[in-house]
Amino acid sequence: MREAIRIARVRERTATKFVAAKYDRKSDSILADLSTGVTLSVPRSAILGFAKADPRLLSDIEIVGARETLWSDSVDDGVLIEQLIVIAAGKEMLGSLGARINASKKSAARASASRANGTKGGRPKKSATAA
């Protein structure tokens, strides 16, 4: 239980959260400042819960739910931080980026296997095949 609490506290300090958010009528976009220092500008039409809403109703957007959700009582809908990031970056891009990040991580087992293979002379040379 103590370990779970410790992990939750670390996540609370390091997780990306909303710092500020508003609806910008001029660009018809939701502007969201994140704890990373980045500002996302996402078109209202791309956010499922806000797309068909009257833009005048979005003046009451607030940050709720551990600073991970934007909510409008007037529209009675919201959007999660993950959803905004997927909309902004694109699902395919995030998928390939996630795969690249995970592939670049070195676990203890992977490092050990690399060392063992290195003692055997490394990666075998590709054999030339007849065309």
Spatial contact of 36 and 64, defined as CB atoms under 8 Å apart: no
**Res. 66 pLDDT band, cuts 50 70 90:** confident
Domains delineated in the chain = 16-92 (3.30.2020.40)
Q: What does the pLDDT look like over 82-117, one tens digit per residue?
A: 899 898 888 888 778 777 777 777 777 777 777 787
**DSSP-assigned beta bridge partners for residue 71:** 62, 78
For 38-47, 70-79, 108-117, which range has the lowest pLDDT when averaged over its residues?
A: 108-117
What pLDDT was estimated at residue 51?
92
Distances from the Cα of 32 to the Cαs of 54, 95, 112, in angstroms?
19, 22, 43
DSSP state, residue 33? E
Show Cβ contacts of residue 50 under 8 Å, excluding neighbours closer than 6 positions: 30, 44, 58, 72, 75, 77, 79
What is the rounded distance in angstroms from the CA atom of residue 53 to the CA atom of residue 56?
Answer: 8
What pLDDT was estimated at residue 1?
82
Confidence check: pLDDT of 131 > 60:
no
What pLDDT was estimated at residue 6?
78
What predicted TM-score, i.e. pTM, was given to this entire model?
0.67
Count of beta carbons in the 10 Å neighbourhood of residue 35: 14
Strand, coil or helix: what is 70? strand
What pLDDT was estimated at residue 130?
57
Count of beta carbons in the 10 Å neighbourhood of residue 10: 10
**DSSP-assigned beta bridge partners for residue 20:** 33
Residue at 42: amino acid letter: V
Residue at 78: amino acid letter: G
- What average pLDDT does this structure show over 29-50? 93
Confidence check: pLDDT of 23 > 70:
yes
Q: What percentage of the chain has pLDDT greater than the value 90?
A: 45
